[in-house]
Amino acid sequence: MDYGFENGKELLDLCRTRKKNIGQIMALREMEISGKTIEAVRNTMKEKLQIMNAAAKKGLDSEMKSVGGLIGGEARKLNAWNEKNTTLSGNTINEAVARALSVMEVNASMGRIVAAPTAGSCGIIPGVVLTAGERLGLKEDELVEGLFAASAIGLIVVQNATVSGAEGGCQAETGTAAAMASAAAVQMAGGTPVMSLHAAAMAFKNVLGLICDPIAGLVESPCQKRNALGVANAMVSADMALAGIESVIPFDEVVEAMYRVGKALPIAFRETAMGGLATTPTGIAISKKIYPV
């Protein structure tokens, strides 16, 4: 296969020899595998972007109630706070986080989202890509190319580790989403493929060891706020990489380390709701209320 790659090193080699960015390589790989035209492949990704956009807006316009009742209305609250222009962390981050919170509300109320890379982490990529696109004044095609770059990072993680909270903890879910989003943001901002991988490596390192401990076993809390953290992580990592800051540990080694850490996590911290926040007095009380038997 002309555009196949197993890891970050092979991806960077392809970018260098073919003189393409990560998103372009990923789109060509998809074209090769699917047998579709490059236009058809891009159109499919454009549809994903539109679904992300709708989910990112929905929670800002209306209040949704999640199935478990643990989340709902957070996106609107943050958006209203952000509009006062007195936030501590600035408008861009808060706009991105509000979008991520919205997507998570849509997910928790059984609405339509793109599970990239999973439903539990579905707010991070839309939050970062849509907001970066807006801030940089990019065209839709550039956002689509950013999503292809994010996909390349996700593919490498799936091929070499895991994106499942049940297998590798929250680091594998929201950590991967943050890594994907940061690589996309770097590319969208004009950074090099090498910078994208440094950003992805840093985003992963920042949450290495993060456990999965959903209250009452529902993908609501702490998941929604972990998506908020993922957005901030991705954007800060992207900015560091764009500034020329490098990850001390190369991306491929970080992915391997993440997988080893994930496998070493006790089962109580891998989506079983048997540890962490799920077993706090409040977590247990919420669980008993939702499942009163």
Binding residues for ligand SF4, rule: CB under 6 A, are 120-121, 165, 170, 173-174, 212-214, 219, 222-223, 226, 271
What backbone phi and psi angles, to 5 degrees, belong to 270?
A: -130, 70
Nearer to ligand SF4, 179 or 242 (CB): 179
Least distance to ligand SF4 from the beta carbon of 152, Å? 22
Least distance to ligand SF4 from the beta carbon of 28, Å? 31
Nearer to ligand SF4, 68 or 214 (CB): 214
Least distance to ligand SF4 from the beta carbon of 228, Å? 11
219: alpha, beta or left, given left = phi > 0 and alpha = psi -120 to 50? beta
Dig out the tokens for 28 from the structure: 């060509």
Give the span between the Cα atoms of 20 and 131, in whole angstroms: 24
Nearer to ligand SF4, 27 or 273 (CB): 273
Write down how long the chain is: 293
Dig out the tokens for 58 from the structure: 């929905």
Residues 105 and 66: beta-carbon distance below 8 Å: yes
Least distance to ligand SF4 from the beta carbon of 16, Å? 34
Nearer to ligand SF4, 127 or 222 (CB): 222
Least distance to ligand SF4 from the beta carbon of 248, Å? 26
Nearer to ligand SF4, 38 or 158 (CB): 158
- C-alpha closest to that of 187 among 242, 232, 114: 242
Least distance to ligand SF4 from the beta carbon of 15, Å? 30
Nearer to ligand SF4, 197 or 207 (CB): 207
Q: Does residue 222 have a cis peptide bond before it, meaning omega lies within 30 degrees of 0?
A: yes
Least distance to ligand SF4 from the beta carbon of 30, Å? 26
Dig out the tokens for 34 from the structure: 């699917």
Give the span between the Cα atoms of 266 and 216, in whole angstroms: 18
Give the CB-side neighbour count of residue 274, counting CA atoms within 13 A: 8
Nearer to ligand SF4, 23 or 72 (CB): 72
Q: Does residue 266 have a cis peptide bond before it, meaning omega lies within 30 degrees of 0?
A: no
Least distance to ligand SF4 from the beta carbon of 93, Å? 19
Residue 218's contacts (CB-CB under 8 Å, 6 or more residues apart) are 66, 67, 68, 70, 108, 290
- C-alpha closest to that of 253 among 12, 3, 5, 9: 9
Residue 48's contacts (CB-CB under 8 Å, 6 or more residues apart) are 114, 116, 147
Amino acid at 172: A
Nearer to ligand SF4, 38 or 115 (CB): 115
